Amino acid sequence: MRYQGKITDWKDDKGFGFITPNGGGQRVFIHIKSFSKREQRPVGNELVTYELTHDTKGRPQANSATFVGSRVTPGSRAGQANAPLVLAKAPLMMAGAFLVFVAASVFAGKLPIALVWIYLAASLVAFIAYALDKSAARDDRWRTQESTLHLFA
């Protein structure tokens, strides 16, 4: 069963801290190695979910911890929380604008329709190459050379 709480005491130099469970109760010990993904280090005041276990002395300890949402840093304002979301959508908006431009160019007679089919076929080949490379990475198999992936892109 997974629980949720807030890291209320974090000692980064030692790599451990304590979680205060959302439902109340005894503080839960957490070590840096208890995080499933170590893409970011805690600084304190982050919400996390975790599996509750106990050490040999019966004290509560967190395992398989993950961050909930984005990191909340001291001094951050509510308006700034939406900024990363807008930036994350920028590539999607650029791709959409490109597709609208290509479609408008075809309808205006500036681009031949065959070019659209060639572009779609090349995009499909690139997508399949990246998917195969991602699958190989997950399965610990031989991966596609980066230069080859760049060629497809």
Report which DSSP code applies to 40.
Answer: S
pTM over 0.75: no
Q: What is the pLDDT of residues 116-140, one digit of tens each?
A: 899 889 999 999 999 999 898 888 8
* pLDDT tens for each residue of 9-19: 999 888 899 99
Residue 75 is predicted with a pLDDT of 44
Q: Residue 87 pLDDT more than 80?
A: no
Q: What average pLDDT does this structure show over 139-148?
A: 89
pLDDT of 78 above 50: no
- Supply the pLDDT for residue 132: 93
DSSP 25: -
| Beta-bridge partner residues of 35 | 65
140: left (phi over 0), alpha (psi -120 to 50) or beta: left
- Please give the CATH topology (third level) of the domain spanning 2-67: OB fold (Dihydrolipoamide Acetyltransferase, E2P) (2.40.50)
> Which whole-number Å values give the CA distances from 20 to 60, 117, 140, in the listed order?
11, 56, 37
Domain boundaries of the chain, sorted by first residue: 2-67, 79-111, 112-153
In which residue are the tokens 């650029």 written? 94
User: Residues 17-62: pLDDT tens digits?
Assistant: 999 999 888 999 999 988 887 778 888 888 999 999 999 999 999 9
3-class DSSP state of 67: strand
